[in-house]
Chain A
């Protein structure tokens, strides 16, 4: 054994099993997460707006406006100058825009705070709003919607189509990035008006974390108090139309495999006892990117049909790129969601049936004692991975404010794992989940053929190149005839070019 170096640690993320999510201090417009030994400072400035505030015909305005703050010029500096000034600091700032929240965030080493802070503040309080910046940002957004989302990832496409279908006609009814026509129509006046309405001192919550001092907090509060006054009108929570049985949207495109997402609105939000109970059931059925997911076991591990299969009780954007939940994507209306990663076209119908069959079984029978015990034990420690950094914990602290959770959601999550019983979990399943209503989004090469399969509900047996255990073959026979009948009028076949128009 040899010791190669002994240099005092300069970084210590004060983080502990005992103190997860502790220590956030909340006042009316401030959420603080001091971490004394952290040499970095984290900012999360939350404006209570998001794509739900996009005016009709201007879908995408919330996201474009936020980019006009963080990816564009200020009155003091051109965008080029900002890039030059930020570069040596190894710091940047960015905007996270979701349905209900817009958060301007950044992180800097305390050595560089003096150079960073004026740039960060200017971005929020003193944007230049130039036509050149707007053109560039709109072009990036349009490229994302028209090309990347439609063509480069069928599973992300499927998820977007699912949410659009469930929330059609509500303020949640379009993707955050916007619709092609909406983005094209956005003008500088639209951006200015949106900024004036929502970026006000009465609509902001300051999130500050890490190794900051009292002087920085006072300065930030003073500086943001210079934003104009104004309390925007509240948007009522969306009321998605009730689902009645199954319905499907099948996106027709030249897809090399079939991607499936499905979901149904649920009436529960984090913070309540039932939510944590349901989190156990959901984790067992489909913990995100984890082999403990039962759906993963059935569809991938035992049958090798795809790369993974998961379920959710909260919106989880960017699921293909991240392993733990994002922060600051809170919503007042959530859905229960199942995500089947692309399967070979010939196994699409079978995989859909397999997933629905497992879901029905969960709803009808609940968890067993063993499933409950293992999942509870898993989650109690696994949630530690949700927020290992100051930035992530500050994000959770803001989310706690959104949901009105006293204390910390993550701390509560852990403590609930010690107190919830199997009865609690199965009662929550019975109360909040039901089988039979579901919106299904499918991306397929031959959409009409898939539609005909759903209408006919004929058996969909699959074959394997290899020998499978008898138990799997026997179960396959049941899956292949599991009823998922959908009337033709409840199935839309949509060319991909028609999505997000």
Chain B
């Protein structure tokens, strides 16, 4: 079935990495972990994928770490700069090596992570370790290269800015957060992107503070032999100097009253209602956190009473969903609806609030709860079929927690969730004092 609202995933990058499951020890592969004396952690997962390897360098820094005013967007900018090369392998040489081995190479950034990933043939692993370790230790770029890359960043902003969901995300964060850096999106405020060409010195500091072994985890999945891999890792990453300086990310003070905002989209769109509630940081042992994810599925997912009524029967919305993201700090738990008519925005909002109230006072059906647990287990298993998909699936949890133990912990908690837990989570998080409501409407007709 068609994803109704592809843009929604942008609101919560890697939101439901997978819903809940039944027992502990769900992760099906043997995992070997090593930590070098400089603090660099290496997670190796051999799997039956003859000849293929996925290599993820997970930097545990994202737009969350952009604490200085006027510097939103730098984690992402820095992701780009990492392709500008070193003295030994200048950017063009790095590119031609990656090209010559036919690797699929890319990178991404979100709130809590900057990840660099390559998929390639197993025989090329030594070369990949060499070039990746080189750029993480010896990145070197001059002012013109930095300023040219800032143009590409602006280009990335421009291609996305026409998407109403990106505008909505920018607004709801800005309204909901005062102190915490989740106030801004990963791409950053346009005014900060415009000023990026002047930030060369700041960018050098960014590298020195965050691109350090204690803040990086290497994930290597596929046709590998951990002992042999570790010899190379020690050789190439061993000399990397410690020096991570955690960003002093200010905690968000408790919200005491509902907030609201409006967005005028300079095009034509159906109105979109976004209700974000201050949630909790990812905590796999927390019954409340895990139950909040179950609540989102049961109250607003494709099998919910509200979805069936508003989307299928009455056809008053053409999309409805909730996202309970996995974040290092407290994110927004969001409920989003795209509504057919402007004058139905308030009534739909009323329907969403009524649904929340119902879940706050009535335990969920045990069979539906069991369905969520069963689905999540199979969803998780079915997603682990190639080295890249395994690594991609784990990267976010690695960035947030520093390892992958949280996965089993999460599923263990999930297996124990009761209808009462779901009710408790609904009462804890989904209350007006935690809420920020933003409505986006188009202006062109």
Contacts and interface: CB of A to CB of B under 8 A. Distances in A.
Contacts of B95: 291-292
Interface string A1-35: 11111111111111111100000000000000000
Contact of A384 (B102, B163, B374): B102
Contact of A466 (B2, B51, B159, B197): B197
A17 B381 contact: no
Contacts of A194: none
B191 interface: no
A323 B106 contact: yes
Interface in B24-40: 25, 27-34
Given A303-B148, A342-B158, A7 B28 contact: yes
A303 B151 contact: yes
A303 B101 CA distance: 26
B251 interface: no
A437 interface: no
Interface string A86-128: 0111111110000000000001010110000000000000000
B382 A107 contact: yes
A6 B49 contact: no
Nearest to B408: A5
A9 B48 contact: yes
Contacts of B83: 291
B197 A381 contact: no
B358 interface: no
Interface in B16-70: 25, 27-34, 47-52
Contact of A147 (B269, B311, B384, B405): B269
Contacts of A323: 104, 106
Contact of A3 (B32, B48, B149): B32
Given A5-B30, A67-B2, A342 B147 contact: no
Contact of A90 (B47, B267, B375): B375
A255 interface: yes
A59 interface: no
Nearest to A155: B159
A65 interface: no
A304 B30 contact: no
A143 B28 contact: no
B386 interface: yes
B226 to A, nearest CB: 7
Contacts of A289: 106
Contacts of A469: 144
A11 B380 CA distance: 11
Interface stretch (A43-51, A134-142, A242-250): A134-142
B149 to A, nearest CB: 6
Contacts of B163: 152-153
B405 A377 contact: no
Contacts of B31: 3-5
A365 interface: no
Interface stretch (A76-84, A200-208, A420-428, A483-491): A76-84
Contacts of A377: 99-102
Nearest to A35: B385
A142 B164 CA distance: 17
Nearest to B375: A90
B116 interface: no
A388 B386 contact: yes
B14 to A, nearest CB: 16
Nearest to A146: B268
Nearest to B373: A88
Given A111-B378, A146-B268, A467-B144, A136 B33 contact: no
B132 to A, nearest CB: 15
Contacts of A9: 28-30, 47-48
Interface in B77-123: 83, 91, 95-96, 98-106, 119-121
Contacts of B230: 1
A185 interface: no
Contacts of A89: 374-375, 378
B152 interface: yes
B312 interface: yes
A344 B151 CA distance: 10
A381 B47 contact: no
Given A1-B33, A152-B164, A87 B155 contact: no
A385 B386 CA distance: 11
A389 B386 contact: yes
A375 B313 CA distance: 54
A398 to B, nearest CB: 19
Nearest to B30: A6
Contact of A4 (B33, B49, B105, B375): B33
A343 B29 contact: no
A465 B25 CA distance: 55
Interface string B427-445: 0000000000000001010
A375 B99 CA distance: 7
A380 interface: yes
Contact of A38 (B32, B308, B385): B385
B2 A17 contact: no
B378 A109 contact: yes
A40 B158 contact: no
Interface string A51-88: 00000000000000001001100000001100110011
Given A153-B163, A300-B152, A465 B269 contact: no
A277 B378 CA distance: 43
A466 B385 contact: no
Contacts of B156: 307
A305 interface: yes
B361 interface: no
Given A87-B303, A291-B95, A7 B104 contact: no
A80 B378 contact: no
A290 B95 CA distance: 10
Contacts of B384: 11
B169 to A, nearest CB: 14
Interface string B377-417: 11101101110110000000000000011000000000000
Contacts of B96: 292, 374
Nearest to B269: A147
Given A17-B51, A107-B382, A382 B164 contact: no
A1 B25 contact: no
A466 B199 CA distance: 13
B103 A382 contact: yes
A341 interface: yes
Contacts of A4: 31-33, 404-405
Contacts of B30: 3, 5-7, 9
A378 interface: yes
A307 B29 CA distance: 37
Interface in B108-143: 119-121, 124, 143
A1 B102 contact: no
Given A140-B318, A305-B151, 20 more contacts: A16-B51, A80-B313, A83-B303, A89-B375, A90-B374, A94-B1, A151-B267, A152-B164, A153-B163, A154-B162, A291-B95, A301-B91, A303-B148, A304-B154, A323-B104, A343-B155, A379-B102, A382-B104, A465-B197, A468-B144
30 contacts: A2-B32, A4-B405, A7-B30, A11-B385, A12-B48, A15-B386, A17-B50, A17-B52, A18-B50, A37-B48, A71-B2, A90-B382, A107-B382, A139-B340, A152-B163, A153-B159, A154-B162, A291-B95, A291-B98, A305-B151, A321-B6, A343-B155, A374-B100, A381-B102, A381-B120, A382-B103, A384-B51, A388-B119, A389-B389, A469-B144
Interface of B: 1-2, 4, 6-7, 25, 27-34, 47-52, 83, 91, 95-96, 98-106, 119-121, 124, 143-144, 147-152, 154-156, 158-159, 161-164, 197, 226, 230, 265-270, 301-303, 308, 311-313, 315, 318, 340, 370-371, 374-379, 381-382, 384-386, 388-389, 404-405, 442, 444
8 tightest Cβ-Cβ pairs between the two chains A and B: A304-B151, A381-B102, A151-B267, A12-B48, A17-B51, A90-B378, A466-B147, A306-B155
